[in-house]
Structure 1
Amino acid sequence: MTSPPILYSFRRCPYAMRARMALWVAGIAVELREVKLAAKPPELAQVSPKATVPVLVLQDSTVIDESLAIMRWALAQHDPEQWLAGDDAALIARNDGPFKHHLDRYKYPHRYPDEAAGDEATFRLDHRTHGLSVLLDLDVRLGMSAYLIGDRPTLADIALFPFIRQFANTDRDWFDAQGLPHVQEWLERHLASPLFAAIMPKFAPWQSGDAPIRFGP
């Protein structure tokens, strides 16, 4: 019996979340290797020198170590919900570029002491404001349709969702008080979806010699 692809993942990483969601909806089962970021297994760096998650190792030893590439590969194999019809490069680039830049500095201001220049509180709130401006634009868009590209979720929604979830959870009371009714409703639909529940079980960090964990529908 052929072994499934191997997926190195971290449960809460937004990049890994979106990769797992695409693999699941494509019906592709993998051997899941949960990574503890503070103690990464050497096998991860051996297959991908940058040693970040997610990393997918195919049966022919091909390595895919970018989350969007994993999503697109999975959906190219099987796309039952036509997610690729919503592969909006501009939306995804704004999320993965400017929005992620501001999200990191809002959520983890202590990681950027040189940029904060001694005023971490102001630095953090400035980046929260910039992140909010991106969400306000998305709110206008979502006021015209239930999802980013139309009336059903597509790749763009799934690519953005984990990052907006992370932004919201940084200070949920503040987020819920903002004028983002359409983004908030869109986020809640994703959070309540069976797909999100399916890709979020907890696993112990993988170590060499552990029994394989099958992950997939």
Structure 2
Amino acid sequence: MTLPILYSFRRCPYAMRARLALAYAGQQCELREVVLRDKPPELLQASPKGTVPVIVLPDGRVLEESYDIVKWALGQNDPRSWSRVLPETDELVAQNDGPFKAALDKYKYASRHPEQPPGSYRREGEKFLAQLEKKLSENQTRAGQAYLLGSEQTVADIVIFPFIRQFAFVDEVWFFSSPYKALQNWLQWHLDSPLFAAVMHKYPQWQPGANPVIFPSPSIPGQNSGQNSGQNSGQNSGQNSGQSSS
């Protein structure tokens, strides 16, 4: 059986988004870890823009946008019927991948954008944080953890989480002392989740002829993705936010 080929970079939030969806769906692929300063010709042949994630499907189709990969994965297997909330998720992704990501990049790499102080870029990003905080606060119940679209984790949470993670770890002390308490709890829940731990294993740079890396591991079924292990391994993974690709 021919598996899809996923070109990924561990720390890129877009690539995390794709891996989270593939792991949730239990959709296996051959993972090829990319070093962005040394992109393999095979990646550039599949997608000349040279960003990750990129997935090459067995029928030859190439998906080179993370959210397209998410939707494709849900189309293969959707154990919790997350596809039902894609319209609401589309709206969040448009805000996240547009104005919020622009502010995040300038905040994270403020030295490259000296026209404004870092705090100015952070305040611009906070507009989205405030929206998410409001949603989470409204969805909070006595039963436990709140999520972006209700009382259960959905695709909306996993596609937004990697970017809030990256924003938070630009200045971890500031974020976890900010007034966004519901968002802090939500972020920590995802950092501690088995699903996040499963997609953050470190792999060597892919080289032609290397033994294939099959992702996700069969021992991490997607239907268990919503359960919180209570371990703090995600926190350790979260502290290395890396750079965003596409």
Bin the TM-score by the shorter chain.
over 0.9
Shift of 1:109: 2.0
* 1:1-217 pair list within 5 angstroms: 2-87=1-86, 88=88, 89-112=90-113, 116-117=114-115, 122=117, 124-145=118-139, 146-216=146-216, 217=218
**Deviation at residue 86 of structure 1 after TM alignment:** 2.4
SS of match in other structure, 1:143: helix
Q: Structure 2 CA distance, aligned partners of 1:160 and 1:139?
A: 13
Q: For residue 24 of structure 1, what is the amino acid of its counterpart?
A: A
CA distance in 1, matches of 2:5, 2:58: 8
In structure 1, runs of 5+ residues without a counterpart are none
CA positional deviation for 1:133: 2.1
Residue type of the alignment partner of 1:167: F
* Matches of 2:158 and 2:112, distance apart in 1: 27
1:4-49, Cα deviation, whole Å (9 max, x unpaired): 1100000010000010011111111110000001111111000001
Corresponding residue SS for 1:170: coil
Whichever residue aligns with residue 189 of structure 2, its letter is R
What code does the residue aligned with 1:209 have? G
Question: TM-score, structure 2 length as denominator?
Answer: 0.82
| Residues in 1 aligned to 2:129 and 2:171: alpha-carbon distance in whole angstroms | 15
Deviations 1:101-121 (A, max 9, x none): 100000012334xxx33x6xx
Matches of 2:93 and 2:63, distance apart in 1: 19
The whole-number CA distance in structure 1 between the counterparts of 2:23 and 2:194 is 11
Q: How far has the Cα of 1:85 moved from its partner?
A: 2.2
Q: Distance in 2 between matches of 1:111 and 1:76?
A: 40
Retained in 2: the 8 A contact 1:22–1:75?
yes
Distance in 1, Cα, partners of 2:60 & 2:128: 39
- In the alignment, the residues of structure 2 paired with residue 85 and residue 189 of structure 1 have an alpha-carbon distance, to the nearest angstrom, of 23
2: CA distance between counterparts of 1:200 and 1:179?
28
Aligned residues: 209
CA distance 1:78–1:50, change in 2 (3 Å): same
- Distance across 1 between alignment mates of 2:23 and 2:171: 29
